[in-house]
Amino acid sequence: MSVYTDIHSHILPGVDDGSKNMEETLALLKLCYEEGTRRIFATPHYVPGHKSASPEHLRKLRTEVAEKIKETYPDMELYGGNEIYYKEGVVKDVKAGKVLTLADTDYCLVEFNTRLEYKKIFHAVKEFTEAGYRPILAHVERYDCLYQQSELIEDLIDAGAYIQINAESLLGGLFDRHSKYVQKILKDGLVHFIGSDCHRLDFRKPRMGSVFQKIKNEAVKEEIEEIMAVNVEKLLKNEWV
């Protein structure tokens, strides 16, 4: 079985709309492990102007969870981060240390209102890159302005953006209409990272391996291998992908 890195999850207990408590966190981690995930980034929501957990609290929680993981799954690694909800000026919060970047690298996981207009997403990418960060656009398949607009995604990449999709979007489900499109952008080399975006046992479970096993298209499968073997390593070394 191949092993995977999940760069987007809400696995930390009691900090957002993800796992409710340590018991649920451990149950989710068990599922992650069974799905072939061996490295997972905990990326709780950070919403500017709202009460989000502090980096200190997140680090403490992550240490607690990591200790539990070590007991049961010594070959599993947990990394930190936030899923940053984009609002104009949020980069200042990142600069001020109020937000966690992915594994303390220059990579930031950034999400947008699904109806945000293209020029604002483009502006956001510029804001992050000009401040020295590498923005990863979370679940790009959800944004209306980018739907079936590969050339716009290419322009964002040229401007310094990285692209993340949710694994289960490859097969449909919650965002069914996107699955063909998601496989296409992956095949076309427009996707840099994949996450489960898992939340809870009863809402968006951590599907990775079980999704990938169902994919028939060879080009899509090759891209997934490349992402897991190459891109993730570069991210962890804080190198350009």
How many of the chain's residues bind Fe ion (CB under 5 A)? 2
- In DSSP terms, 46 is beta-bridged to 84
Residue 6 engages Fe ion in binding (rule: CB under 5 A): no
In 41-70, which positions are buried (b, 16+ CB within 10 angstroms) versus exposed (e)? Answer: bbbbbbbbeeebbebeebeebbeebeeebe
Measured from the CB atom, is 83 or 168 closer to Fe ion? 83
Residue 47, φ and ψ in degrees, nearest 5:
-120, 115
Q: List binders of Fe ion among 185-204 (CB under 5 A).
A: 197
Instruction: Provide the minimum distance between the beta carbon of 152 and Fe ion in the complex, in angstroms, as a whole number.
Output: 22
Considering only 6, 24, 35, 83, the residue that binds Fe ion (CB under 5 A) is: 83
Residue 168 engages Fe ion in binding (rule: CB under 5 A): no
Instruction: Provide the minimum distance between the beta carbon of 41 and Fe ion in the complex, in angstroms, as a whole number.
Output: 11
Query: Which span (29-37, 75-83, 93-101, 232-240) binds Fe ion, by CB under 5 A?
Result: 75-83
Measured from the CB atom, is 116 or 187 closer to Fe ion? 116
What are the distances in angstroms from CA 14 to CA 23, 52, 102, 107, 215?
11, 11, 20, 24, 34
Is the four-CA dihedral 165, 171, 173, 177 of positive or negative sign?
Answer: positive
Binding site for Fe ion (CB under 5 A): 83, 197
